[in-house]
Amino acid sequence: MDDGGIQEEPPSARFLTPTRSGGTRWVDGSEVDSSESAALSLGDERSGETVSAEGSAAATGPASRVSSGTFRRRLGKRPRRVDSLDVEAMNVRGAHGHSSKELTMLSTIAMAFQTLGVVYGDMGTSPLYVFSDVFSKVPIKSEVEILGALSLVMYTIALIPFAKYVFIVLKANDNGEGGTFALYSLICRYAKVSLLPNQQRVDEDISSFRLKLPTPELERAMFVKDCLEKKPLFKNILLFLVLMGTSMVIGDGILTPSMSVMSAVSGLQGQVPGFDTDAVVIVSIIVLLLLFSVQRFGTGKVGFMFAPILGLWFINLSSIGIYNIVKYDISVVRAFNPAYIYLFFQTNGMKAWSALGGCVLCITGAEAMFADLGHFSVKSIQVAFTAVVFPCLLIAYMGQAAFLMKNPLAVERIFYDSVPGVLFWPVFVIATLAAMIASQAMISATFSCIKQAMALGCFPRIKIIHTSKKIMGQIYIPVMNWFLMVMCIIIVATFRSTNDIANAYGIAEVGVMMVSTVLVTLVMLLIWQTNLFLVLCFPILFGAVEFAYLTAVLSKIREGGWLPLAFSSLFLCIMYTWNYGSVLKYQSEMRGKISLDFILDLGATLGTVRVPGIGLVYNELVQGIPSIFGQLLVTLPAMHSTIVFVCIKYIPVPYVPLEERFLFRRVGQKDYHMFRCVARYGYKDVRKEDHGFFEQLLVESLEKFLRREAQEIALETSTMEAERDDISVVSEVPQSPACEGDLRTPLLSDQRSGDDNRMGTRDDSAPVLPSSSMSAEEDPALEYELEALREAMASGFTYLLAHGDVRARKESFFTKKFIINYFYAFLRRNCRAGTATLKVPHSNIMRVGMTYMV
């Protein structure tokens, strides 16, 4: 069974919570009438499984099938307790807020300096090739072309990176995380719009909405929420946009190293005699080989060099720019007048429109400001761009324009020709290093996008290596690294010119920007509840500018623009197919669940021999007993004394604290020794623990659950004895504080000892159990169960997995059969096995063949 499971909860599920008045209410706040509450109180509690208003994995038999004595015993043992696994599965710190740690001014400045080497490498190296590409489309005939192009570049930088990203998009972060998937997960937490079955039901109405007074913005937000949730078409469109944006980032990651490295190396042409185009290609390929070969060591080894080098680079840009402005033509400051943009288009017509494709190169890498937010703070990125990057880039472009006013024929090598001769070699070395760093930033961004897509069930599992013990975001993906290297070498060897590569460059960047505009607009409507006029201004203003650039770059499809579209389409097909197949496979598992009554009829021995040991049955279901378990009972001659149904759950939050990692529930009666475990991970969490650490953490958490359960039973028993006279009135049975707390905090966040560093510190919001709760020594049943668990652990762990084959049903359409039986099957056969994530020895694995008909 794939242990990178993704879950989905029936959309109609609702959960109960006790009220102070002794009644009950749905989690969304609506009251439950007495008849409905009584009906739910008569449900079957043999397993402690989740019960919802329309049924769940726990079989809830009719009241007529329960004898009077059994009913009284059940009622006398404890009041009706609604399983909170589904609520707790999303109850992690920061799941509904935007947590931000206040940094000192000195820390912010230090972090802003670090962003130069990670975030702004691509944008910082754009002066190497922007004007040379712009004026390859529009020949310089007068100062109008120079001032018009300069004005276009200046206002493009001011409008997109500065106004849009610095002041608006950066605020739409997901608990400090940025990027397309972060925006998507943020929207998914406020509305059930995800087609990926990896969400649990929390509240029908978001708490921030319910606490506000009715306003036009609130009503509009609720309307948008209902439309997104009820219209499958909108869900598909939203998912398609997210996957398209992610695939374009990957496509951009293929072109950026080629463009940056070749632009830097081409500076040797004209400076070194005999250094022709062939030499540029060969040296560029050598640099690319070196760049991708050192990826396996991780950026942490050389990370301390990145910021100083980019700092020197920006100092060079501004210094050379000031020198050229003063020496050649200070009147280029006239480009601050946007009228020159109008004159530029009026004079050159369609050629000026085509030149927009070169102008857009000045903002390549702007999306990295948002995508790399997880490594820094919002304020540090804002400070770095406002105080360093923005002014340095403006001065650099103004200096190049001033040089062109006197040397209009130097457009092909404008950057290096504008450098004073004495500074050429130092600037060349710094430019080459800066180009490599810019390439490194996009390579790392590609790795990060692949990891997030895998976590949200949109990409096949491939090997991920974590290169840093301290910085969790530093990862290395060998398959993607070598794929990028081969593609970059092919591009350099085929195009052989920066102008030709520039024709292909920029399409992916503009596409990602337009996707972020759509998603941020949804955030404004749904979450921020911004004034409607401001909401409309955002997509109209920025969307119009980005659409204009998109039409310009699409005009270069025949000249090479098809390349990023081809790469993006390839990855889009892979991601959408994997998501589509995973959803169908999950739905097939939901249909094939085993009835709890069937398991209970088998007895505590499960109809076979129970031998010492712990069996971890990996499955994708957060509710119910998976069909693989029935296959295991038929196939294996014996079954382990302790069975744990393990579900690896990715939820739409960036990180899940370690102490909130596991949730447990008992399946069946105590003598069955069967449990359900949900291991929760955020989409940025690192699953680098080996199987030994995972097993130890799981057993420790299971012990905490057993102690907590025994304490609850002891407390409820004492409460029931004190109110025995009122036991016949179902609606007046009081809920214990421990049961109330069950619906608010994970079971494992309580009872953490001071020396348990592995499980973290205790959450202050967790309920404190009374001192009268029984310890293991006072409760023989608890001591027996803990001893049985320790004996089972000593006998070892066995991972019980399904070797699944997914096939389309015979009555399916041809398209579905082709996608599932061939494309999706090919991806499943060639992706990484799920157990490889935990490094499980093969001797500890048992596989059972399963066929899922979807």
8 Å CB contact between 457 and 578? yes
Proportion of the chain above pLDDT 70, given as a percent? 74
- pLDDT given at position 396: 95
Q: How far apart are CA 614 and CA 688, in angstroms?
A: 22
d(CA 815, CA 807): 13
Kindly report, residue by residue over 646-666, the tens digit of the pLDDT: 888 777 777 777 777 788 888
Helix pair 350-359, 143-157: axis angle to 10 deg: 40
**What are the φ and ψ backbone dihedral angles of 466, each rounded to 5 degrees?**
-95, 115
With a CB cutoff of 8 Å and minimum separation 6, the contacts of 322 are 395, 399
pLDDT of residue 332: 93
- Which pLDDT belongs to residue 163? 92
Q: What confidence tier does 68 reach under pLDDT thresholds 50, 70, 90?
A: very low
Whole-angstrom distance, CA of residue 510 vs CA of residue 364: 8
pLDDT band at 32 (very low <50, low <70, confident <90, very high): very low
Element (H, E) at 732: none
**Which two three-digit tokens encode residue 756?**
């348990």
At residue 207, does pLDDT exceed 50?
no
**pLDDT tens digit string along 101-126?**
566 788 888 888 888 877 888 888 88
Predicted confidence band of residue 540 (pLDDT cuts 50, 70, 90)? very high
* Whether the predicted pLDDT of 832 surpasses 80: no
pLDDT of residue 216: 60
**Which amino acid belongs to residue 107?**
S
Helices 424-455 & 303-327 angle (0-180, nearest 10): 130
Long-range contacts of 811-819 (CB under 8 A, 24+ apart): 819/577, 819/580, 819/581
432, 361, 293: which is closest to 136 by C-alpha? 361
Rounded to whole angstroms, the Cα distance separating 550 from 567 reads 17
Residue 760 is predicted with a pLDDT of 35
Looking at residue 419, its amino acid is V
Quote the pLDDT of residue 711. 84
Condensed to tens digits (0 to 9), the pLDDT of residues 594-612 reads 888 888 888 888 888 888 9
**Tokens 């009913």, located at residue:** 71
Angle at 47 between CA 46 and CA 52, to 5 degrees: 100
Contact 506, 364 (CB under 8 A): yes
Query: How does pLDDT run across 402-439, given as a tens digit for each residue?
Result: 999 998 888 888 898 999 888 888 998 888 888 877 77
Domains and CATH numbers, the chain: 115-190+220-582 (1.20.1740.10), 595-715+787-853 (no CATH)
* Cα 126 from chain centroid (whole Å): 29
Alpha helices in 158-297 (DSSP H): 167, 180-190, 207-210, 216-230, 232-265, 277-293
297-320 mean pLDDT: 77
First to last CA, the chain: 16
Give the bridge partners for 625, in sequence order: 594
Report the range of poorest mean pLDDT among 438-447, 512-521, 539-548, 737-746: 737-746
pLDDT confidence of residue 83 = 40
Sequence-ordered list of residues with C-beta below 8 angstroms from that of 790, at least 6 positions apart, any chain: none
> Which of 5-14, 614-623, 765-774 bottoms out in mean pLDDT, i.e. has the lowest?
5-14
Per-residue pLDDT, 100: 44
> Is residue 465 within 8 Å of 476, Cβ to Cβ?
yes
For position 92, what pLDDT does the model report? 44
**The length of the chain, given as a count of residues:** 854
Q: What is the pLDDT of residue 392?
A: 95
What residues have CB less than 8 Å from 67, skipping those under 6 apart? none
**Residue 33: pLDDT over 50:** no
Is it the case that residue 737 has pLDDT exceeding 80?
no
Query: DSSP letter at 734?
Result: P
Are 631 and 802 contacting, i.e. CB atoms less than 8 angstroms apart? Answer: yes
* Exposed/middle/buried for residue 687 (C-beta within 10 Å: 0-12, 13-18, 19+): middle
| Both structure tokens of 838 | 């935990």
Highest mean pLDDT among 36-40, 323-327, 703-707: 323-327
What local confidence, expressed as pLDDT, does residue 650 receive?
Answer: 77
Closest listed residue to residue 372, CA positions, set 364, 382, 363, 381: 381
pLDDT over threshold 60, residue 325 = yes
Distance between alpha carbon 125 and the CA centroid of its chain, in Å?
A: 28
Q: Residue 432 is encoded by which pair of tokens?
A: 């080459």
Question: If residue 681 lies in a helix (H) or strand (E), which one and from where to where?
Answer: strand 674-682
Gap between the Cα atoms of 11 and 671, Å rounded: 34
In this predicted model, what pLDDT tens digit does every residue of 355-396 receive, in sequence order? 888 898 898 888 878 877 776 788 888 999 999 999 999 999
Tokens representing 726 are: 């009122």
DSSP result, 300-319? GGTHHHHHHHHHHHHHHHHH
E runs forming strands in 395-508: 465-466, 475-476
The per-residue pLDDT for range 792-831, each reduced to its tens digit, is 888 888 888 887 788 888 888 888 888 888 898 888 888 7
pLDDT digits (tens, 9 = 90+) for 328-355: 999 999 999 999 999 999 998 888 888 8
Average pLDDT across the chain, whole number: 74
CA distance 843 to 5: 23
CA–CA dist 324, 420 (Å, integer): 9
- Which is more confidently placed, 424 or 691? 424
Which range is least confidently modeled, 23-37, 72-86, 323-337?
Answer: 23-37
Contacts 24+ apart (CB under 8 A), 546-549: 546/160, 546/510, 546/513, 546/514, 546/517, 547/514, 548/356, 549/356, 549/357, 549/359, 549/360, 549/506, 549/510
Bigger pLDDT: 495 or 654? Answer: 495
**Helix, strand, coil abundance in the chain, percent, nearest 5:** 60, 10, 30
User: With 70 as the cut, is the pLDDT of residue 522 above it?
Assistant: yes
**22: number of CA atoms within 13 Å, CB side?**
7
Instruction: Return the pLDDT at 387.
Output: 92
CA distance 820 to 808: 6
* The predicted structure's pLDDT at residue 735: 39
pLDDT at 74: 35
Which residues lie below 8 Å from residue 193, measured CB to CB, with a gap of 6+? 187, 228, 229, 234, 235, 238
Task: Please give the C-alpha separations between residue 819 and each of 455, 586, 808, 823, in angstroms, as whole numbers.
Answer: 22, 16, 9, 5
Q: Which phi and psi angles does 432 have, rounded to 5°?
A: -65, -45
E-strand ranges in 566-673 read 609-618, 638-651, 662-667
Q: Is 158's pLDDT higher than 90?
A: yes
Helix (H, G, I), strand (E, B) or coil at 538: helix
721: tokens are: 């004895």
DSSP 46-83: SS-----TT--SS----GGGS-HHHHHHHHHH------
Instruction: Name 63's Cβ contacts closer than 8 Å, sequence gap at least 6.
Output: 42, 71
pLDDT of residue 470: 58
Q: What is the pLDDT, as a whole number, of residue 215?
A: 52
Please report the pLDDT score of residue 528 as a whole number: 83
Q: What percent of the chain has pLDDT over 90?
A: 13
Q: For the residues 136-158, what does the mean pLDDT come to? A: 92
User: How far is the C-alpha of 83 from the C-alpha of 210, rounded, in Å?
Assistant: 24
- pLDDT for 160 equals 93
Cα angle 570-575-580, degrees, rounded to a multiple of 5: 125
What digits encode the pLDDT tens for the residues 753-798? Answer: 333 333 333 333 333 333 334 454 557 888 888 888 888 888 888 8
pLDDT-derived band at 62, boundaries 50, 70, 90: very low
Q: What is the pLDDT of residue 30?
A: 35
Distance, CA of 505 to CA of 520 (rounded, Å): 24
Condensed to tens digits (0 to 9), the pLDDT of residues 176-192 reads 777 888 788 788 777 77
